[in-house]
Amino acid sequence: MVTFGRPSPLVRAYCLEKQLETPAEIYYKFEGTNTSGSHKLNSAAAQVYYARKEGLTSLTTETGAGQWGTALAMACAYYNIPLSVYMVKVSAEQKPYRKAVIETYGGKVIPSPSNTTEVGRKILAKNPDTGGSLGCAISEAIEVAMKTDNCRYVLGSVLDHVLLHQSIIGEETKTACEKYGIKPDIIIGCAGGGSNLGGLIAPFMGDKIHGKNDIHFIAVEPASCPSLTRGKYAFDFGDTGQTTPLMKMYTLGSGFMPSPNHAGGLRYHGMSPIVSKLYDDGYLEARSVEQLKVFEVATMFARCEGTLPAPESAHALRVAIDEALKCKETGEKKTIVFGLTGTGYFDLSAYMSYNDGSMTDYIPTDEDLAKGFATLPNVGL
């Protein structure tokens, strides 16, 4: 499939370097060239390939922001497997174009909560006007998979196999760096569930653990959903419905209610267990950044480099720029590589709210976090 767009480009941001007047070299690995618009296709394609090989006849999933649903629908169309996407009702209403792309690829979009499942009917009976939640959409998708022969529920981040699929990002980056003599000092990725970051750093981190490099790795998360920087390292559920197996990870608690941050792909309460372990062992730094500062650089990047970044990706860009500006002060000529995970074409409502000045920042208080921590399971570990 040519439109998978691999290898994806590793681009030197010459115009950005010039605008910042930094002695640093800045490179980005751009995952937004495929039609689904993000790195999520790397795992969607692999998971649907194996589903097909295993003889499964349908798949279900949930989607909040819409990137995962789009990528999975694209892969399911290629391998000819029917897909049902439980899309959080407010998202389906706010993002009609996302829904249209999924449907064009043949995916069935069901706004959640729906009356197609028991859990959906129960929620609707209690609260008919609810806009839905990711946790509820996951519970609906899992129920359908459990009740349908030869059907499975698939997940687009967090889990180890997803990071394995995403390691194609890092493998290609490493190959390109070796080919062109680029030696990264800093590698930066945005972190929602941790899959693109985990994939980007994987081969470099392997070398670091074996003492073969001294690269500084940085995970960037939104200040509105700070699972690494303010979370607890604990056993927790992957979903709000508390139906998944427990995972040890940095988490805000499955009941944490993130604010409506525009980087929907980063609004997740937990973090990949692999990324969590690396962070806990001190191999990885984590920083949180505020939304307005993210859109400030997203806009600057669009104007000087021409590429419109996804809001999620612009979190990594923010820290890449902060590091390049430090180099300007110290005169150091560091090499900075960051992951540009997707295109911003599907997030124009977020750009509109930044452009018209209505975007605001939101940082959870300690009380907000305490409410989330209160939902952590008491498993005595």
Ligand X SMILES: *Cc1c(COP(=O)(O)O)cnc(C)c1O
Q: Which is nearer to ligand X, 19 or 33 (CB)?
A: 33
d(CA 77, CA 339): 27
Q: Is 343 in contact with 308 (CB distance < 8 Å)?
A: yes
The size of the chain, in residues, is: 381
Q: Is 101 in contact with 201 (CB distance < 8 Å)?
A: no
Q: Is 36 in contact with 51 (CB distance < 8 Å)?
A: no
Q: Which of 196, 227, 251, 261 binds ligand X (CB under 6 A)?
A: 196
Contact between 193 and ligand X per CB under 6 A: yes
Contact between 194 and ligand X per CB under 6 A: yes
Q: Which of 310, 320, 327, 337 binds ligand X (CB under 6 A)?
A: 310
Contact between 265 and ligand X per CB under 6 A: yes
Q: Is 30 in contact with 341 (CB distance < 8 Å)?
A: no
Contacts with ligand X by CB under 6 A: the residue count is 19
Q: Which of 67, 112, 261, 291 binds ligand X (CB under 6 A)?
A: 67
Q: Which of 81, 190, 205, 317 binds ligand X (CB under 6 A)?
A: 190
d(CA 31, CA 6): 9
Site for ligand X in 20-39 (CB under 6 A): 38
Shortest Cβ 310–ligand X spacing (Å): 4
For 249, the token pair is: 């990870």
Contact between 251 and ligand X per CB under 6 A: no
Contact between 312 and ligand X per CB under 6 A: yes
Contact between 221 and ligand X per CB under 6 A: no
Shortest Cβ 102–ligand X spacing (Å): 14
Q: Which is nearer to ligand X, 40 or 174 (CB)?
A: 40
Contact between 307 and ligand X per CB under 6 A: no
Shortest Cβ 264–ligand X spacing (Å): 8
Contact between 347 and ligand X per CB under 6 A: no
Q: Which is nearer to ligand X, 10 or 275 (CB)?
A: 275
Q: Which alpha helices (DSSP H) does the chain contain, by range? A: 14-20, 41-53, 67-79, 89-94, 96-104, 118-126, 134-147, 160-180, 195-209, 227-230, 273-280, 291-305, 311-330, 348-355, 366-373
Axis crossing angle, helix 67-79 with helix 96-104, rounded to the nearest 10: 10
Task: Select the span of 145-153, 177-185, 193-201, 370-378 touching ligand X (CB under 6 A).
Answer: 193-201
Q: Which of 26, 341, 372, 376 binds ligand X (CB under 6 A)?
A: 341
Shortest Cβ 343–ligand X spacing (Å): 8
Q: Is 234 in contact with 269 (CB distance < 8 Å)?
A: no
Contact between 40 and ligand X per CB under 6 A: yes
Residue among 125, 144, 196, 129 nearest 338 (CA)? 196
Using CB atoms within 10 Å of the CB of residue 138, give its burial: 0 to 12 exposed, 13 to 18 middle, 19+ buried. buried
- Contact string (CB under 6 A) for ligand X, positions 149-188, x = contact: --------x-------------------------------
Q: Which is nearer to ligand X, 194 or 364 (CB)?
A: 194
Q: Which of 36, 173, 313, 335 binds ligand X (CB under 6 A)?
A: 313
DSSP state of 107: P
Q: How far is CA 155 from CA 34, 35, 132, 235, in A?
A: 20, 20, 18, 19
Tell me if residue 338 falls in helix, strand or coil.
Answer: strand
**Residues forming the site for ligand X (CB under 6 A):** 38, 40, 67, 157, 190-197, 265-266, 310, 312-313, 341-342
